[in-house]
Structure 1
Amino acid sequence: MLALAEGRLLEALDLARYVIEETKKAGATGVWIAYDMVYCAAEALREFGEENHAIALIEWHMTDVKKFHVTAWQAALEAKHALIESQLGRSTAGLHRIRKIRDELNSPRYSLEILRIVDEHELIIRALLQDFERMAELVNRTKKPGTISIIEAAIELRKGGEAAKLAISLIPTRNPREELLFHILHVNLYLEKPKLAESHLQKALPIIMSYGYRQILLIQSPKFLEFLLKFAANYPTVYMEQISKEVRTRMANSNSRSEKIENPLTKREIEILNRLSTGLPISQIATNLHISHNTIKTHLKNVYKKLGAESREDAVEKGRELLLF
């Protein structure tokens, strides 16, 4: 778990697999199964971009978790499952899973530590959705200084300016994970200044290659991905060629899917669609956007019509499939 926390993913996965195999050989069942290692392996696989393998691993062990009432690890593994679903574009399903966990967390069986783990997973989901309002709420409950500084930096990055520079500069770099996030956020900060962005990407890449990270590059903004392709062309390596191929595939899929919409959504409609994915009531979304209830109803009618959606959930799923947000 220490290797995972510090971002040494390859080492964490090897150790987790070894322990899981050894407990199987020993005939361990029920509470004696190494669920912490299942959690560790699932997280490493997620970071490697092997989401389906991670989900299969979680689901394989979930039967025993529920059967033997290992409630703490059930909540932790469900939270991991929710994050992976969201990363695959199924954010509505992911947030529904998070809400179900929170309903269970009202039980005294769960500790505050488990609640913190669920909060951290929801934070990442909200970051993927760019739901900065909910992120700010969750940050106030999260007690890990490193996590708080990284999330606060991401929130400030959206605003830009000197506050973003200061927030990113305060991110600790005590281990590979923190150091990598420090440089990736700096790349985002300096996309308008290619030389500065390049210098931080060059520092991030050795960490990415040494420890097996992959998704951290692929989930970035289109602007970041375009910069990454230019960087790969200027500094060709076998690894960058592989990453470029994945980036181009992702961008091509995005373009081909977008072409399926006869009438593209407006910027405001995409913003509302993004807010829909957070699960907030329509009235609250209207209040947050400073528009009337009638205005948001008109926008929603247009969104549903353009996407061919029949419900809120349907619209969100189609929006994610089309990579609209």
Structure 2
Amino acid sequence: MLMHQVAKNKKPVDFEKLVSSQVEPLRALATSVIESLDEETRLLITSLSVVQEFTHEIAEVILGDLYSYDVINQIALDGNFFSQTGSPEQTFEFSLLMREVLLTHLRKDKYKKMRIHAELLAFHENRNEPNLALEHAYLAGDFEKLGEIFPDAARIMQASGRGNELIRWSIFAGDNSEIGLLKRATVELTGRLALQDYDSVMSMIAQMNFDAKDTVLEGFIRQITYGAKAYVDIALGRFDEFDISFEIAMSSENGPLNLGIEEQIGLLRLAAMKNFILDETEKVEAFYEEAKSLANKSKISNNHLLLSSMNAMVLFQIGDYRRAYEAASIAYSQFNKLGYVGNFGPLDSMFIIARCQLEFARPREAFELFAQIRNLGEQWKQWAWHFFADGYFARDLIIRGMVTEALDNIKRARERANEIEYSQALISIIDLSELFIRFTVKDNERLGALLERAPKLRFVQQIQLAYDERMGKKSVREDVKNLPIRTPREKIWKHLADAHEVIGQENQALKEMKKALEIGATVGAKETFLRQSPEMGNLIMKIAGQNPTVYLEDLASSVADRIKSEASRPTEFASSLTKRELEVLRHLSTDRPISAIAASLHISLNTMKTHLKNLYRKMEVDGRVSAVEKAKAHFIL
């Protein structure tokens, strides 16, 4: 590049003299090349070197009357000083060596350099880009403006995972006084949180609250530290602890500072996430309404993004799947455009898109996204989302009749949880997936145990109703009558439950199924109907035959395929074992002789042999060892 430029210059360059007289010959050559340029070109590229990368728009701000679109493109085409990047926008990037030499020249005119930074500060501030304006404020020597835009810039750096930059800038958050050092610590804390350095975050929280005791910032430090802890609690699935942290962080404090509206909206999004995972529709709605109320008082643009993600949660929770998909897709696009990651990343929006795709019976697209969520959840240490997404792989396996593989998935998830700092909430998320599996394979004993310890979520309540009916309990009919019918999802479920109750009375069952399908067609529900029993599927196909709409014909075709698939699925042994056979199976794992097991069960040896014969036949195994191994693989032992 240097040789090419030198060849173009009319002034000769004495290379031997340059190399022998300079410690850094390349730098000396670059300086010589720059000095050999005509004055106007040298002035242009020297002024532009104030930034590493620039667009035509920024070049015009820097150069003013000197700006020329064609000249910039020609210099970039030559590629000697800067060149065009592969960015979709027309962006140019300086050669590191050339920029370093050019900046040396520019620094000789300190006031000119400061003027350029002041112009760029105004440019980025007018575009509501405080994170880009921050450094120009510092380099322009405008420390009053730096203090003014710092909070908004810090929020953007935190959301985009630039924790190291936050820590670097924390020195400007306060002076060396006791109060100033506490202010600096708040910025460093957010930087550590952005880096997902949870151990350092928890350590800083304790120290900061100790240092703030009996100062005017005591209340504010309590708010900011417990707000940081709320993010850690959600990431690690500590939902009970989150409730405490959230309450403290959102409480009003007496003092010169309080938690900002933007931070409060971020915490409300966390609360909505927690309740979305726990399927608490009313609470998700309440936190969304509170966030909307606060947003009216704020001007920073990313509040609209956080509200969009919360709106998508609400729409999905009520069962308006088409609108939820649209809202989540818009939010996801905005998250990506802004580069938000980690605690502020788009995992909630991604999950809603995946769940909607699943509801639309588009499993391939859904599971590609679930895989991304699972991987990003691990990368960003957002373990609640990691296990929540991972559970859908187990559910998919069981729907396809792959019981052993589904249970292996659950086993791996529990082992993975044991490797990290997990809480009961993470175990509860894994339990929900196993609950679905045990219900599907009719492992009623294990299912009953899981239902006893599972949180009373709507999904769990639905499983509980079906379990109670399966076990012959009398309260099911009354429970069905009392099901809520406020949201589209609740109405669909209620009509399906009512149809199931009168499945022997076809006309009445058809009437209830039609009501459910009318709502389903409006909101885009499909998988909800595909999960129904073959008898319910037959109702759907009959209605589609009577009133063939595009939605119903497509659904009826999928129902027929699902019924055919399930009919070809091998019967699972767990549901067919009698109580006595299960007792025998548990004793087989003890290595006790068959005669001793028979004696402990108070049965004859011949009866024991009959039980063993039936047990091995149902389990499709050839003996005691393989029976025990298969039972352990299916979590019966």
TM over 0.5: yes
Do the aligned partners of 1:149 and 1:170 also contact (CA within 8 Å) in 2? no
**Aligned position for 2:521:** 209
Do the aligned partners of 1:58 and 1:77 also contact (CA within 8 Å) in 2? yes
Q: In the TM superposition, what whole-angstrom CA distance separates every residue of 1:91-147 from its partner, at most 9, and x where no partner exists?
A: 332222222223344467334443333333332333322333333322222333544
Q: Which moved more, 1:95-104 or 1:159-168?
A: 159-168
Do the aligned partners of 1:43 and 1:80 also contact (CA within 8 Å) in 2? no
Q: Which moved more, 1:84-93 or 1:212-221?
A: 84-93
TM (normalized to structure 1)? 0.75
The alignment status of 1:59 with 2:374, answered yes or no, reads: no
Of 298, 313, 318 in structure 1, the residue corresponding to residue 613 of structure 2 is 298
The alignment status of 1:283 with 2:595, answered yes or no, reads: no
The alignment status of 1:142 with 2:457, answered yes or no, reads: no
The alignment status of 1:233 with 2:535, answered yes or no, reads: no
Of 402, 415, 426 in structure 2, the residue corresponding to residue 103 of structure 1 is 415
Q: Which moved more, 1:41-50 or 1:293-302?
A: 293-302
Of 553, 569, 573 in structure 2, the residue corresponding to residue 272 of structure 1 is 573
**Aligned position for 1:128:** 440
**Aligned position for 2:532:** 220
Matched AA of 1:169 = K
The alignment status of 1:73 with 2:385, answered yes or no, reads: yes
Matched AA of 1:218 = L
Shift in Å at residue 304 of structure 1? 6.9
SS in structure 1 of the partner of residue 476 of structure 2 = helix
Shift in Å at residue 60 of structure 1? 2.7
- What is the rounded CA distance, in whole Å, between the counterparts of 2:561 and 2:382 in structure 1? 41
TM (normalized to structure 2)? 0.41
Q: In the TM superposition, what whole-angstrom CA distance separates every residue of 1:158-201 from its partner, at most 9, and x where no partner exists?
A: 25685331222232223222222222122222110112212211
Do the aligned partners of 2:395 and 2:436 also contact (CA within 8 Å) in 1? yes
Do the aligned partners of 1:39 and 1:76 also contact (CA within 8 Å) in 2? no
- What is the rounded CA distance, in whole Å, between the counterparts of 2:353 and 2:575 in structure 1? 31
The alignment status of 1:5 with 2:309, answered yes or no, reads: no
**Aligned position for 1:323:** none
Change (3 A) 1:35 1:151: same
Which structure has the larger Rg?
2
Q: In the TM superposition, what whole-angstrom CA distance separates every residue of 1:65-107 from its partner, at most 9, and x where no partner exists?
A: 3233332221222123322332333333222222222334446
- What is the rounded CA distance, in whole Å, between the counterparts of 2:549 and 2:498 in structure 1? 22
Query: Aligned residues: percent identity?
Result: 25
Q: In the TM superposition, what whole-angstrom CA distance separates every residue of 1:277-300 from its partner, at most 9, and x where no partner exists?
A: xxx9982599xxx99775564346
Do the aligned partners of 1:168 and 1:182 also contact (CA within 8 Å) in 2? yes
Change (3 A) 1:150 1:251: closer
Shift in Å at residue 61 of structure 1? 3.9
Do the aligned partners of 1:275 and 1:285 also contact (CA within 8 Å) in 2? no
Do the aligned partners of 1:191 and 1:224 also contact (CA within 8 Å) in 2? yes
Question: What is the alpha-carbon root mean square deviation over aligned residues?
Answer: 3.6
**Aligned position for 2:561:** 249
Matched AA of 1:118 = I
Q: In the TM superposition, what whole-angstrom CA distance separates every residue of 1:14-72 from its partner, at most 9, and x where no partner exists?
A: 22222222222222344442112222222222222222211111223433332333322
Q: Which moved more, 1:185-194 or 1:100-109?
A: 100-109
Shift in Å at residue 274 of structure 1? 4.5
The alignment status of 1:93 with 2:93, answered yes or no, reads: no
**Aligned position for 1:17:** 329
- What is the rounded CA distance, in whole Å, between the counterparts of 2:452 and 2:503 in structure 1? 29
Change (3 A) 1:138 1:173: farther
Of 349, 359, 363 in structure 2, the residue corresponding to residue 47 of structure 1 is 359
Do the aligned partners of 1:183 and 1:203 also contact (CA within 8 Å) in 2? yes
SS in structure 2 of the partner of residue 154 of structure 1 = helix
- What is the rounded CA distance, in whole Å, between the counterparts of 1:247 and 1:285 in structure 2? 42
Do the aligned partners of 2:374 and 2:385 also contact (CA within 8 Å) in 1? no
Higher relative contact order (CA 8 A, sep 6+): 1
- What is the rounded CA distance, in whole Å, between the counterparts of 2:321 and 2:586 in structure 1? 40
Q: In the TM superposition, what whole-angstrom CA distance separates every residue of 1:247-287 from its partner, at most 9, and x where no partner exists?
A: 333444566x47xxxxxx8xxxx3625569xxx9982599x
Do the aligned partners of 2:394 and 2:406 also contact (CA within 8 Å) in 1? yes
**Aligned position for 1:83:** 395
- What is the rounded CA distance, in whole Å, between the counterparts of 2:331 and 2:537 in structure 1? 37
- What is the rounded CA distance, in whole Å, between the counterparts of 2:507 and 2:534 in structure 1? 19
**Aligned position for 1:322:** none
- What is the rounded CA distance, in whole Å, between the counterparts of 1:275 and 1:158 in structure 2? 14
Change (3 A) 1:35 1:254: closer
Matched AA of 2:362 = E
Change (3 A) 1:295 1:16: farther
Do the aligned partners of 2:376 and 2:386 also contact (CA within 8 Å) in 1? no
SS in structure 2 of the partner of residue 220 of structure 1 = coil
- What is the rounded CA distance, in whole Å, between the counterparts of 1:252 and 1:17 in structure 2? 34
- What is the rounded CA distance, in whole Å, between the counterparts of 2:522 and 2:584 in structure 1? 45
Change (3 A) 1:218 1:296: farther
Q: Which moved more, 1:91-100 or 1:194-203?
A: 91-100
